[in-house]
Amino acid sequence: MADKTHPTGAEIAIGSFSPKLVSLTDNVLFGDIWERPALSKRDRSLATITALIALRASEQLPFHLKHGVENGLTQTEIVELITHMAFYTGWPSAMSAITAAKKVFEADQP
């Protein structure tokens, strides 16, 4: 559920432009689906990053790459996943994904 003392990512990104999408994102997607016990958050992150690569949804990748790290994925695992996906989703998808990952991991460097 959303922490009402700080705006959520969805509130920051789209706020009052689409309050229903904010509500569904915060309460259903992250408040329910991501909390279901049958898959770990780490596994959900792995599946989500894979899907985003396949869909070429590079705008969503930085958030989910960071979220994946918070959920236990390592840089090595993410790079390997992207390399693996190059052969299933195409080279352009992988190159876009690896560029996003590089920016995410470089931003975390001191």
The whole-number average pLDDT for the span 41-65 is 97
Q: What's CA 11's distance to the chain center, in Å?
A: 16
Q: For 90-99, what is each residue's pLDDT tens digit?
A: 999 999 999 9
Residue 69: pLDDT over 90: yes
Q: What is the mean pLDDT of the chain?
A: 94
Residue 27: pLDDT over 60: yes
Residue 68: pLDDT over 90: yes
The whole-model pTM stands at 0.89
106 CB-near residues (< 8 Å, 6+ apart): none
Annotated domain spans of the chain: 1-36, 40-110
Query: Which overall architecture, per CATH, does domain 40-110 show?
Result: Up-down Bundle (1.20)
